[in-house]
Amino acid sequence: MKNLMLILLLAPFALCAQESMGYPMFTNIMLTPNMAEIAELEAGLKEHNQKYHQDGAAGARVYWVMNGVNSDNYVWTMGPHTWATMDEMEMGGDHFDHWNNAVLAHTTGTVTHTWRFYPDKSNFSEDFKLKYLNVFIADMARFQNETFMRVVDQVREVYAQKMADVPYGIYFNTMATSDGMDFAWVDFFDKMTFMGEGDEFPAWFEEVHGSGSFPKFLEDWQTASVSETTELWMYREDLSGLGADVAAADRQ
């Protein structure tokens, strides 16, 4: 049922992708470390990424989760890639064995999600360097796709007028899950002061959308979503195959 809902939700934005089916995606693997073997896990991630994931569609980065139920977990992220480029990657043999023996052997569990990236809904207007990510994830209510996207677009309008210098990405899970991870909005920033700035969003929202519009926004969000969570991630360049530089041209 959720697959159907996602198809209905994404249909308005998939028309151009139907021509080539080459839409960009990111594969995220959440790694829960064996706390007694963190040094071995980090060494394995570094070696694996330097050996197999240094460039192109197979390029990978590693993030460390700073808060919440996933605190101290690692997120291995590959992409942007497409379904077609995954066919071209060497997934078995030594590559597979190295992942199992050098990485998975030092974890107590993993969770994998493949996220479709929407460049036209995101803001990567300038090049920047990765450091911190504010990851907002929502569980979408069934059959509320129109309301959900209206809410997202309203937030995008506020960012465009009040926070135009903040790079962000919008992503939808490509496959149905039961863990509430349907939609992700990711802010990228380089100083923790970003998190401590005064919450002016309600006032900004009403400046952009009109006086009294914020309560209706909250009602719509309550209707369109089941739950949400926010995590802070820190980029670990020392463990990654790809560097910190994110080129705007690569996210268009």
Tens-digit pLDDT profile for residues 158-186? 999 999 999 999 999 999 889 999 999 99
Tokens for 196, please give them.
């401590």
Kindly report the pTM of this predicted structure. 0.91
Q: Say what percent of the chain tops pLDDT 70.
A: 91
* Mean per-residue pLDDT, 13-23: 52
- Per-residue pLDDT tens for 106-143? 999 999 999 999 999 999 999 999 999 999 999 999 99
Quote the CA–CA distance of 154 and 156 in Å, as a whole number. 5
- Per-residue pLDDT tens for 179-209? 999 999 999 999 999 998 878 999 999 999 9
The contacts found for 158-167 with CB under 8 angstroms, 24 or more apart, are 158/201, 158/204, 158/205, 158/208, 158/209, 159/123, 160/123, 161/204, 161/207, 161/208, 162/200, 162/204, 162/207, 162/208, 164/123, 164/125, 165/126, 166/123, 167/123, 167/124, 167/125, 167/126, 167/128, 167/246
- Per-residue pLDDT tens for 69-88? 999 999 999 999 999 999 98
Which residue segments constitute the domains of the chain, with CATH numbers given?
Answer: 2-251 (3.30.70.100)
